[in-house]
Amino acid sequence: MQSFRTEIENPVVEKDILELERKIHQFKEGGLDEEKFRSLRLARGVYGQRQQGVQMIRIKLPYGKVTANQLHRICAVSDEYSTGRLHITTRQDIQIHYVDLDKTPELWAKLEKDEVTLREACGNTVRNVTASETAGIDVDEPFDVSPYAEALFKYFLRNPISQEMGRKFKVSFSASDADTGLSYMHDLGFIAKINNGIKGFKVMLGGGLGSRPRHADVLFEFLASDKIIPLMDGVIRVFDRYGERKSRAKARLKFVLKDIGLDGFKTLLAKEQKAIPYKIFPIDALAYPKIEISKKPVPKVVVEDKNAFEKWKSTNLVAQKQGGFVAIGIKVLLGDFYTDKARLLADLVQNYAAGEIRLSLRQNILIPYVREELIPFFYTELKKLGFVEAGYNKALDITACPGTDTCNLGIASSTGIAKELERVIKAEYPQYIGNSDVVIKISGCMNACGQHNMANIGFQGMSIRTKDKLVAPALQVLLGGGNIGNGEGRFADKVVKVPSKRGPEALRLILNDFDANGNGRSYADYYAQKGEPYFYDFLKPLTDIENLSQEDFIDWGTTEKYKKEIGIGECAGVVIDLIATLLFESIEKIRNAEETLVEEKWAASIYHSYSSMVNSAKALLTAEKTKTNTHASIIRDFDEKFIASGRISLEQGFEDMVLQLNKNKPTLEFAQTYLNTAKAFLTKVEAFRKSELAYA
pTM: 0.91
CB count in 10 Å sphere of residue 196: 6
31 and 73 share one domain:
yes
The DSSP output letter for 259 is H
**Is residue 254 in a domain?**
yes
Cα 119 to Cα 45, 46, 168, 427, distances in angstroms: 6, 9, 13, 43
Look at residues 506, 536, 553 and tell me which one is the last residue of a structural domain: 553
- What is the rounded average pLDDT of the residues 577-586? 77
pLDDT at 653: 95
**Is residue 394 in a domain?**
no
List the CATH number of the domain containing 147.
3.30.413.10
Question: What φ, ψ does residue 462 adopt, rounded to 5°?
Answer: -145, -170
Which of 380-384, 392-396, 667-671 is predicted least confidently? 392-396
List the CATH number of the domain containing 310.
3.30.70.3340
173 and 276 share one domain:
yes
Confidence band, pLDDT 50/70/90 cuts, at residue 580: confident
Q: Are 238 and 256 in contact (CB under 8 A)?
A: yes
Q: Report the half-sphere exposure of 318 (CA within 13 A, side-chain side).
A: 25
Q: Are 192 and 176 in contact (CB under 8 A)?
A: yes
427 and 494 share one domain:
yes
237 and 281 share one domain:
yes
544 and 588 share one domain:
no
Segment holding 305, helix H or strand E: none
pLDDT at 572: 41
Cα 303 to Cα 314, 315, 375, 378, 379, distances in angstroms: 16, 17, 10, 11, 8
Confidence band, pLDDT 50/70/90 cuts, at residue 408: confident
**Is residue 567 in a domain?**
no
445 and 585 share one domain:
no
CA 112 to CA 110: how far, in whole Å? Answer: 5
Amino acid at 386: G
- What is the rounded average pLDDT of the residues 519-543? 94
Of the candidates 104, 103, 84, the residue with the CA atom closest to the CA atom of residue 94: 84
pLDDT at 575: 35
- Write the DSSP string, 613-679: HHHHHHHHHHHTT----SHHHHHHHHIIIIITTTSS--SS-HHHHHGGGGTS---HHHHHHHHHHHH
Which of 112-116, 392-396, 479-483, 539-543 is predicted least confidently? 392-396
Mean of the per-residue pLDDT values for the chain? Answer: 92
pLDDT at 5: 59
520 and 468 share one domain:
yes
List the CATH number of the domain containing 64.
3.90.480.20
Residue 330 pLDDT > 90, yes or no? yes
313 and 268 share one domain:
no
514 and 609 share one domain:
no
Question: How do residues 111-148 score in pLDDT, each as one tens digit?
Answer: 999 999 999 999 899 999 999 999 999 999 999 999 99
**Is residue 21 in a domain?**
yes
Confidence band, pLDDT 50/70/90 cuts, at residue 436: confident
State the alpha helices, DSSP H only, in 104-190: 104-111, 146-156
pLDDT at 238: 97
pLDDT at 245: 87
Beta bridge partners of 317: 328
Q: Are 592 and 163 in contact (CB under 8 A)?
A: no
Q: Classify burial at 30, counting beta carbons within 10 Å of its beta carbon; exposed 0-12, middle 13-18, buried 19 or more.
A: exposed
- What is the rounded average pLDDT of the residues 277-283? 97
CA 689 to CA 579: how far, in whole Å? Answer: 9
Long-range Cβ contact pairs of 643-648 (< 8 A, separation 24 or more): 647/688, 648/684, 648/685, 648/688
**Is residue 561 in a domain?**
no
Cα 619 to Cα 581, 610, 679, 682, 685, distances in angstroms: 9, 14, 15, 11, 9
CA 153 to CA 287: how far, in whole Å? Answer: 16
Q: Are 503 and 417 in contact (CB under 8 A)?
A: yes
269 and 235 share one domain:
yes
SS3 content of the chain, % helix, strand, coil (to 5): 45, 15, 35
CB count in 10 Å sphere of residue 644: 11
**Is residue 566 in a domain?**
no
Which of 9-23, 124-138, 570-584, 609-623 is predicted least confidently? 570-584
Residue 567 pLDDT > 60, yes or no? no
**Is residue 181 in a domain?**
yes
Amino acid at 663: K
pLDDT at 82: 96
- Higher-scoring residue by pLDDT: 248, 208: 208
- What is the rounded average pLDDT of the residues 252-272? 97
Question: How do residues 69-85 score in pLDDT, each as one tens digit?
Answer: 999 999 999 999 999 99
Question: How do residues 333-350 score in pLDDT, each as one tens digit?
Answer: 989 999 999 999 999 999
Q: Are 502 and 542 in contact (CB under 8 A)?
A: yes
**Is residue 121 in a domain?**
no
- Total domains in the chain come to 5
Question: How do residues 449-483 score in pLDDT, each as one tens digit?
Answer: 888 998 999 999 999 988 887 788 999 999 999 99
Beta bridge partners of 55: 48, 99
Confidence band, pLDDT 50/70/90 cuts, at residue 355: very high
Look at residues 82, 114, 146 and tell me which one is the last residue of a structural domain: 114
Q: Are 168 and 47 in contact (CB under 8 A)?
A: no
547 and 604 share one domain:
no
Residue 3 pLDDT > 70, yes or no? no
List the CATH number of the domain containing 676.
1.20.120.330
pLDDT at 696: 52
Question: How do residues 154-180 score in pLDDT, each as one tens digit?
Answer: 999 999 999 989 899 999 999 999 999
Q: Classify burial at 560, counting beta carbons within 10 Å of its beta carbon; exposed 0-12, middle 13-18, buried 19 or more.
A: exposed
Q: Are 356 and 341 in contact (CB under 8 A)?
A: no
Cα 94 to Cα 29, 362, 407, distances in angstroms: 31, 13, 15
Look at residues 384, 408, 428 and tell me which one is the last residue of a structural domain: 384
CA 55 to CA 44: how far, in whole Å? Answer: 12
Residue 617 pLDDT > 60, yes or no? yes
Residue 60's domain comprises: 5-114
pLDDT at 674: 98
State the alpha helices, DSSP H only, in 394-444: 415-428
The DSSP output letter for 262 is H
Residue 692 pLDDT > 90, yes or no? no
Residue 344 makes CB contacts below 8 A (sequence gap 6+) with 384, 385
Q: Are 405 and 413 in contact (CB under 8 A)?
A: yes
State the alpha helices, DSSP H only, in 59-114: 68-81, 104-111
14 and 71 share one domain:
yes
Residue 576 pLDDT > 50, yes or no? no
Q: At what angle do helices 68-81 and 104-111 cross, to 10 degrees?
A: 160
